[in-house]
């Protein structure tokens, strides 16, 4: 394979990042799903919250993020050495929901093709409505209004919804709608999400590859059946939750790389998601 011969020098940064992705793929998948074509000399925008003691998890999750020191300091031989153990649930902070999270036959994290985790994206800003109503449901009207201004969502694009709630992270009360934790917090959750019918419409009528937003869940806080999750994941569409810095992105002309920790059999996992804007 002569893959290396066709990458222009001006795309060195994108090429190096691509090589790091290819290291986790089969040779066949590397050729078919990764492209260095879209953008030259990209400037990356980090859409990920750091994982630390402030990382937010679902209120009834018994565990949070832990970063344990196993070794830290100067050794007997005079050199510095550090090593840590991390403990974290799959779903929390900036993370990915794999289709199996709500679909028995869905793809697990390690089964997701890289083509679903990389590619063109659009940002639909619904913050004006969402910030006025904590139980706001993103509907097809909001999407059609965006398309009237920016054109139809491209086939197999990622769709990122900006609700404006990212400005509250990591303040639990402002972000979730309640400062409580445990089972008693669930009835008091209030934050925007995607209307289930709209999620199904995105899957069927717009053929999107992934959906994300800057709230704790694809479904709004008062959901009991997580129907938006079911609609997307039943169509093998992964979700990105607690996405950061969507206010730094334009409505379109975006390329996203969203790589989760590759957990075998995982229903989700910590996500490092980054974006670059076409010049």
Reported as a single tens digit per residue, the pLDDT across 110-130 is 999 999 999 999 999 999 999
pLDDT at residue 279, as a whole number: 67
Please say if the pLDDT value at position 19 is more than 50.
Answer: no
Alpha helices in the chain (DSSP H): 12-22, 27-33, 127-130, 140-150, 172-176, 196-205, 227-233
The pTM score is 0.86
What's the rounded Cα separation, in Å, for the pair 138 and 168? 19
Q: Which of 91, 106, 163 is nearest to 132 (CA)?
A: 163
Query: What are the boundaries of each domain within the chain?
Result: 43-63+89-277
Q: Nearest-5° angle of CA 44, CA 45, CA 46?
A: 115
pLDDT at residue 41, as a whole number: 75
Quickly name the fold that domain 43-63+89-277 has. Glucose Oxidase; domain 1 (3.50.30)
Percentage of residues in the chain having pLDDT higher than 90: 84
Q: Residue 155 belongs to what H/E stretch?
A: none
- Beta carbons within 10 angstroms of residue 166's beta carbon: 20
Residue range 78-86: mean pLDDT, rounded: 98
* More confident call, 5 vs 244: 244
pLDDT at residue 9, as a whole number: 36
Q: CB–CB of 270/88 below 8 Å? A: yes
Reported as a single tens digit per residue, the pLDDT across 182-210 is 999 999 999 999 999 999 999 999 999 99
Please say if the pLDDT value at position 4 is more than 50.
Answer: no
Hunting for tokens 């639990």 — which residue is that?
Answer: 172
What's the rounded Cα separation, in Å, for the pair 253 and 250? 7
Q: Which of 81, 65, 69, 101 is nearest to 226 (CA)?
A: 101
pLDDT at residue 21, as a whole number: 44
pLDDT at residue 42, as a whole number: 83
Please say if the pLDDT value at position 32 is more than 70.
Answer: no
Hunting for tokens 């969502």 — which residue is that?
Answer: 153
- Local structure of 14: helix, strand or coil: helix
Please say if the pLDDT value at position 147 is more than 80.
Answer: yes
Reported as a single tens digit per residue, the pLDDT across 211-243 is 999 999 999 999 999 999 999 999 999 999 999
* More confident call, 8 vs 51: 51
């Amino acid at each position: 394979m002569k893959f290396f011969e066709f990458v222009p020098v001006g795309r060195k940064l994108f090429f190096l990042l691509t090589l790091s992705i290819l290291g986790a793929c089969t040779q066949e998948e590397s050729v078919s799903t990764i492209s260095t074509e879209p953008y030259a000399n990209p400037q990356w925008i980090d859409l990920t919250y750091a994982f630390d003691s402030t990382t937010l998890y679902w209120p009834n999750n018994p565990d949070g993020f832990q970063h344990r020191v196993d070794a830290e300091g100067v050794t007997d031989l005079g050199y510095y050495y550090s090593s840590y153990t991390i403990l974290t649930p799959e779903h929390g902070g900036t993370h990915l929901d794999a289709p199996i999270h709500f679909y028995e036959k869905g793809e697990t994290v390690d089964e997701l093709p890289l083509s679903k985790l990389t590619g063109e994206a659009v940002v639909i800003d619904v913050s004006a409505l969402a910030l006025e109503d904590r139980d706001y449901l993103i509907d097809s009207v909001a999407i059609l209004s965006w398309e009237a201004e920016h054109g139809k969502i491209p086939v197999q694009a990622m769709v990122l919804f900006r609700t404006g709630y990212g400005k509250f992270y990591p303040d639990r009360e402002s972000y979730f709608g309640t400062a409580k934790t445990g089972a008693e917090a669930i009835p008091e959750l209030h934050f925007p999400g995607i209307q289930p019918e709209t999620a199904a419409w995105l899957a069927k009528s717009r053929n999107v590859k992934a959906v994300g937003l800057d709230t704790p869940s694809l479904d709004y806080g008062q959901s009991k059946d997580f129907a938006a999750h079911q609609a997307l994941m039943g169509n093998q569409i992964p979700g990105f939750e607690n996405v950061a810095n969507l206010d730094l992105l334009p409505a379109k002309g975006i390329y996203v790389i969203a790589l989760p920790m590759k957990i075998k059999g995982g229903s989700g996992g910590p996500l490092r998601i980054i974006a670059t804007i076409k010049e």
